[in-house]
Amino acid sequence: MSRLEERYRTLLRLLPAGYRQEWEDDMVAAFLESMDTGDPETTAYLADYGRPSLSEAASIVSLAVRLRLGADASPRSRRWGQAVRLATLMAMLTHAVLATGGVAVALWYSGKLAWLPAPAPELMLTGPASIWSTTWDLAGYAWLPAYVALVLGYRRVAQAVALLAIAPPAITTAVAQAVGDVPLTVSPWALLLVDVVLLLAMAAFQHGVPPVPRRPWLLALPIGVVLVALPLFILQAVEPALRLLDWPGLAGAAVTVAMAVHLAVRATRRSTRTLPWSLAFTLLAATAFALRAATLPDYHDQAQRAALTTIASVQIVAILAVGVPLAVSAVRALRDTPAATSPPTPAP
Amino acid sequence: MTEPAFFILTALIDNPRHGYGIVAEVAELSQGRVQLKIGSLYGALDRLVGDGLVELDREEAWQGRLRRYYRVTEQGRDALAAEAHRLAANARLAAARLGDQRSPITGTSS
């Protein structure tokens, strides 16, 4: 076996075992032939030092996502696919809602919304704005078009726009921490990691999966802004104690509340359609838990360390208290779902 | 029908072909516009086989490997004919709307 073939077979391991059993050798043969240049010397060189091109690798990754999470996956994998899509939508919705709420509040504070009563002077808690924080804020607003694009079915557009939301904060954080403008902390990096995972998870919305129901997900945007984002910003402005809730804290609280609501709804309406939601909340709870736990060391140098640590501990307990029973019941329900359908077989 | 599936069926109409044979034929048919990646080829091929539009024709040994040749089924021919008909109807619609401009179907001014 040539090195090139070894590399290609390694790449093919991304595909489900049943699929590989059926198609792997054929795919390898076709791939190796596609690398045959006709010149024996070049072909021999490629056999040793060649690699599958980026576009070849991308085609395998996309096939793997479809087979593992998409329309062609086993019933159990399909549930996970639905769960990943729901969790991605919910996380993107949260980003979009907070971005829109942020725009509205910024406009209000700056007096652009003349028809609203002017905010009290003590509400204007924006500190001296640096170029870094401005870039950060502007980039964050990209989550709104990214979310809308994803709901409307423009997955690649959504990913490209989300990259705009992720890249500038990554650069500004790296620069600001490197020059010592801000202390070295885990939080911004942990949040960025979640955003990158979100960007990759959008791959689960590939061709062939059922489209996102547009009306409820688009409606959720204004409802979320009015019922969650605006009250939250105003409360944080009015009640300084609430500012102790940082972003991982808010995410944890939001996930805990959402899980509690989901459990209540599920208790009244027994339906098989709730399983992907339960799995999605399990994914979100695991993320919120990891985020909260990973960002705890950042409290070390804070003045209100004791209060912050207490709040964070309560959050961790709350996430676990609601999340663990939900995860256990979801995994049990998943076990009742068939693990696999038979792999496709060519006709004799 | 996706574009890879459309071109794979078209490539198989005259002769059974093996995996890379399909890639090469599709590239030639589309004058290099459609370069199927192996992942896209087998992603489309497994669906076509699953739907009964394409089936295994034979296996042949070639340079120490087994080459699988695929052929299009009757059902596959019908599906391709229906799709070609649909695309042609769409193209005629656009050509009619374009009016006195150069018609993309006949390649002549209408």
Residue-range domain boundaries for chain B: 3-97
Of A54-63, A202-211, A277-286, A335-344, least confident by mean pLDDT is A335-344
Return the percentage of chain A with pLDDT > 70, whole number. Answer: 84
Q: Residue A29 and residue B41: Cβ atoms within 8 Å?
A: no
Q: Which residues of A touch B2 (CB under 8 A)?
A: 207
B76 close to B54: Cβ distance less than 8 angstroms:
yes
| Residue A169 confidence (pLDDT) above 90 | no
**What pLDDT shows up at residue A36?**
84
Interface contacts (A, B; CB < 8 Å): 72
Of B19, B43, B52, the CB nearest to A26: B19
- Closest by alpha carbon to B18, among B77, B59, B75? B59
Tell me which of A33, A43, A55, A68 to substitute to probe the interface with B (most B C-beta atoms closer than 10 Å): A33
Q: H-helix or E-strand containing A94?
A: helix A75-109
Q: Residue B20 and residue A27: Cβ atoms within 8 Å?
A: no
Q: Mean pLDDT across the stretch B9-38?
A: 92
Structure tokens that stand for A144 in this block: 């709104």
Q: Residue A30 and residue B40: Cβ atoms within 8 Å?
A: no
Q: Mean pLDDT across the stretch A331-335?
A: 83
Q: Rounded to whole angstroms, how far apart are CA atoms A157 and A160?
A: 5
Of A144-148, A193-197, A238-242, A254-258, least confident by mean pLDDT is A238-242
pLDDT band at B52 (very low <50, low <70, confident <90, very high): very high
DSSP string over B63-74: TTEEEEEEEE-H
pLDDT digits (tens, 9 = 90+) for B68-98: 999 999 999 999 999 999 999 999 999 888 8
Q: Which fold has domain B3-97?
A: Arc Repressor Mutant, subunit A (1.10.10)
Whose tokens are 């607003």? That residue is A141
Q: Which residues of B touch A32 (CB under 8 A)?
A: 65
Q: Which residues of B touch A33 (CB under 8 A)?
A: 19-20
**What pLDDT shows up at residue B73?**
95
Of A33, A63, A345, the CB nearest to B39: A63
Chain B residue closest to A56 (CA)? B37
Work out the number of other CB atoms within 10 angstroms of the CB of residue A301: 10
Q: How far is A161 from chain B (nearest CA, A)?
A: 25
3-state DSSP assignment of residue A127: coil
Q: How far is B99 from chain A (nearest CA, A)?
A: 32
Of A109-113, A122-126, A201-205, A213-217, least confident by mean pLDDT is A122-126
- A43 burial class (0-12, 13-18, 19+ CB within 10 angstroms)? middle
Of A70-74, A250-254, A310-314, B95-99, least confident by mean pLDDT is A70-74
Q: Is the ipTM of this complex over 0.90?
A: no
Work out the number of other CB atoms within 10 angstroms of the CB of residue A224: 18
**What pLDDT shows up at residue A125?**
47
